[in-house]
């Protein structure tokens, strides 16, 4: 199963993909989430080392993207291979703004946004998104409410709007994840702990309505924190949130529940396909049987006709009819 993680710069994608396995391994949820290759474990260990030092990892560089491969399994159930994509927020910003409202272009990866049309990295990211089963959008509420710059807010609004309304992605499993939940506990509480309401309430009001928000098909909304944080005061006297020491995962319970649901749904779909295959297989056998019976019937009929024909030709001389007067006339001429 392929999961593509979208979100603007600093939304928390890298920390999230790194901490997920740690959360699963430390919580007693009957799940295992193991790196499936060396590259994945190398990436994870590298980022966790940084977090362990009470620091945040650097921003993913433009043009970089990582595919992390995992084996996900639940007690007593079949395992799943998960590939999780982590790309640079700046690239994703360009990609999302590029495909906004441009269905014709969006369908063709090579004709991506003006200015990025020749950008093969964006084209390949778009391909990877198209091939993914699950699309996640990590939203740091700061992107919507934090900026004083209206144009920046407008851009962030369109990033989310594009993720939710891009026609080619509507058939996919989509989830909006409010990241850094630890920062927005109060905001969430004032919206009845409902993530969707919270986001809708805080969409910038450039226009009088945000009707489109309720009209984007099935989307789930969850909140999570990747790491437990503590507040320290830096040298300038500004309070800073840092990974707490020793570093440990934040509240990812809703997210893990969601992933378990994704695995269940995928299993159910696979079972349906298997059952469909079995039914098609059964039908094929019936058709083959009918064709076989028809051919055997044909062969038997041919054999019967052959026998009859031989019998009748052998019998011809014995049934010589007496010559009539007319025959005598012909014989005479």
Ligand X SMILES: Nc1nc2c(ncn2[C@@H]2O[C@H](COP(=O)(O)OP(=O)(O)OP(=O)(O)O)[C@@H](O)[C@H]2O)c(=O)[nH]1
Residues lying near ligand X in the complex (CB under 6 A): 7, 9-15, 56-57, 59-60, 88-89, 180, 182-183, 225-227, 229, 241, 250
Question: Which of ligand X, Mg ion, none does residue 249 bind (CB under 5 to 8 Å by kind)?
Answer: none
The distance of closest approach from Cβ of residue 26 to ligand X in the complex, given in angstroms and rounded to an integer, is: 15
Question: Which of ligand X, Mg ion, none does residue 57 bind (CB under 5 to 8 Å by kind)?
Answer: ligand X
Question: Which of ligand X, Mg ion, none does residue 119 bind (CB under 5 to 8 Å by kind)?
Answer: none
Question: What count of other Cβ atoms lies within 10 Å of the Cβ of residue 238?
Answer: 8
Nearer residue to Mg ion within complex by CB, 8 or 60: 60
Tokens of residue 6, six digits = 């979208």
Nearer residue to ligand X within complex by CB, 243 or 263: 243
Nearer residue to ligand X within complex by CB, 87 or 199: 87
Using Cβ positions, the residue closest to ligand X within the complex turns out to be 89
Question: Which of ligand X, Mg ion, none does residue 227 bind (CB under 5 to 8 Å by kind)?
Answer: ligand X
* CA angle, residues 151, 181, 236, in degrees to nearest 5: 70
The distance of closest approach from Cβ of residue 158 to ligand X in the complex, given in angstroms and rounded to an integer, is: 17
Nearer residue to ligand X within complex by CB, 112 or 227: 227
Nearer residue to ligand X within complex by CB, 140 or 173: 140
Nearer residue to Mg ion within complex by CB, 59 or 154: 59
18 binds Mg ion (CB under 5 A): no
Q: Judge whether 176 and 139 are in contact, CB under 8 Å.
A: yes
Nearer residue to ligand X within complex by CB, 94 or 263: 94
Tokens of residue 89, six digits = 């927020």
The distance of closest approach from Cβ of residue 178 to ligand X in the complex, given in angstroms and rounded to an integer, is: 11
First to last CA, the chain: 95
Q: Judge whether 176 and 137 are in contact, CB under 8 Å.
A: yes
The distance of closest approach from Cβ of residue 81 to ligand X in the complex, given in angstroms and rounded to an integer, is: 23
The distance of closest approach from Cβ of residue 124 to ligand X in the complex, given in angstroms and rounded to an integer, is: 17
Torsion angle, alpha carbons of 184, 189, 195, 200, to 10: -90
The distance of closest approach from Cβ of residue 88 to Mg ion in the complex, given in angstroms and rounded to an integer, is: 6
Quick one: which of 1, 4, 5, 14 contacts Mg ion (CB under 5 A)?
14
- 56-85 residues in contact with Mg ion (CB under 5 A) are 60
Q: Judge whether 71 and 32 are in contact, CB under 8 Å.
A: yes
């Amino acid at each position: 199963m392929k999961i593509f993680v979208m979100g603007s710069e600093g939304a928390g994608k890298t920390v999230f993909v790194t901490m997920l396995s740690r959360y699963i391994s430390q919580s007693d949820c009957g799940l295992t989430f193991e790196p499936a290759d060396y590259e994945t474990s190398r990436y994870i260990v590298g980022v966790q080392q940084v977090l362990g030092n009470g620091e945040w990892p650097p921003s993913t560089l433009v043009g970089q993207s990582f595919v992390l491969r995992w084996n996900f399994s639940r007690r007593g159930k079949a395992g799943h291979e998960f590939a999780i994509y982590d790309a640079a927020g700046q690239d994703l910003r360009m990609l999302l703004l590029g495909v906004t409202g441009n269905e014709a272009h969006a369908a063709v990866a090579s004709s991506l946004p003006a200015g990025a049309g020749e950008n093969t990295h964006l084209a390949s990211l778009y391909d990877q998104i198209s091939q993914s089963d699950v699309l996640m959008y990590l939203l740091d509420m700061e992107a919507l409410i934090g900026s004083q710059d209206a144009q920046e807010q407008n851009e962030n609004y369109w990033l989310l709007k594009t993720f939710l309304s891009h026609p080619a992605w509507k058939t996919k499993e989509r989830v909006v994840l409010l990241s850094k939940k630890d920062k927005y506990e109060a905001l969430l509480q004032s919206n009845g702990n409902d993530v969707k309401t919270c986001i809708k309430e805080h969409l910038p009001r450039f226009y009088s309505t945000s009707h489109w928000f309720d009209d984007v098909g099935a989307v789930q909304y969850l909140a999570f924190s990747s790491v437990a944080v503590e507040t320290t005061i830096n040298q300038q006297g500004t309070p800073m949130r840092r990974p707490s020491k020793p570093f440990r995962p934040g509240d990812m319970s809703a997210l893990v529940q969601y992933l378990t649901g994704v695995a269940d749904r995928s299993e159910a779909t696979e079972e349906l396909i298997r059952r469909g295959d079995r039914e098609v297989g059964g039908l094929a056998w019936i058709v083959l049987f009918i064709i076989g019976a028809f051919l055997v019937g044909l062969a038997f009929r041919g054999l019967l006709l052959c026998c009859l024909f031989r019998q009748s030709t052998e019998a011809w001389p014995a049934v010589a009819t007496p010559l009539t007067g007319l025959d005598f006339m012909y014989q005479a001429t």
